[in-house]
Amino acid sequence: MPFIWLLIVGAAAGFLATRILKVDLDTPTTIALGVFGALIGGLVLRGLVLLTGAGAGFAGALLGALVLVWAWKSWSR
């Protein structure tokens, strides 16, 4: 179940990150960047999740996805 939740949250975070940064990526890349961003953000904000709940987990996933999409945009030129 945690893996499925990671895919769902990661896909949502990747979608939002590509829209916020105005990047046009294909669906698999968006999902992959979102999932990896969710992993990074989840690890960084793990302590915050314990203190404040699942909302911080989604915020961390979104921040991680934003960083990865920005990096992808910067380095893929």
6-38 pLDDT tens trace: 788 888 888 888 898 888 888 888 888 888 888
CA nearest to 18, candidates 27, 6, 9: 27
Length of the chain: 77
Number of domains in the chain: 1
In a domain, 77, yes or no: no
Query: What was the pLDDT predicted at 54?
Result: 66
Q: Is residue 42 part of a domain?
A: yes
Q: Report pTM.
A: 0.58
What is the domain range of residue 64?
A: 2-72
Write the pLDDT tens digit of every residue in 40-73. Answer: 777 776 766 676 766 777 777 888 888 888 888 8
Give residue 35's pLDDT: 86
The set of residues, in sequence order, having a beta carbon less than 8 Å from that of 44 and lying 6+ positions away, is: 60, 63, 64
Give the torsion through C-alpha atoms of 63, 66, 71, 74, to 10 deg: -140
Please determine, for residue 1, whether its predicted confidence score (pLDDT) is greater than 70: no
Query: Which amino acid is residue 1, in one-letter code?
Result: M
- Asked, for residue 24, whether it belongs to a domain, the answer is yes
